[in-house]
Amino acid sequence: MEKEPNEGSTPRPNMLDIVKIDGKWAQVVSSDKVKYLSDRNSVAEVDWDKYTYQRDFNFLTAVDLVDRSEISDSEFMVIYWGTEQEKNPDIRRNVTVFGIFTKK
């Protein structure tokens, strides 16, 4: 469930959403952490209020980013849906793209 921001604060992505932050695509892994798709071992803490939310992707999914050549196939394979993915590996195609964040 999306955390309700305080009035005037930056919108918060949901857990597992895809975001572009500081110019890099990442997946939200907790309320204050992202995992960069370009480096599956790179996890960073994020203070969302230090960022400006720039763009809503209007229901784009991870596979749309691949189709638009915004992420590579190897970055796509880093995206995680959950344990359901073990039985249905293509489920990662449905992970939602939340938006773009830049530092204030």
Q: Supply the range of the domain harboring residue 28.
A: 18-103
Residue 91 lies in a domain: yes
Cβ distance 12 to 99 under 8 Å? Answer: no
pLDDT: which is higher, 25 or 59: 25
What domain count does the chain have?
1
**Range in 3-7, 67-71, 78-82 with the lowest mean pLDDT:** 3-7
pLDDT at 6: 53
Whether residue 1 is contained in a domain is answered as no
The whole-number pLDDT of residue 7 equals 56
Nearest CA-CA partner of 46 in 90, 82, 11:
11
Within-domain flag for 9: no
DSSP 8-state symbol, 9: S
Strand partners, 21: 24, 101
Residue 70 has pLDDT above 90, yes or no: yes
Q: 71 pLDDT exceeds 50?
A: yes
> Encoding tokens for residue 67?
């189709």
Flag whether 65 is in a domain. Answer: yes
pLDDT > 90? residue 46: yes
* Residue at 6 is within a domain: no
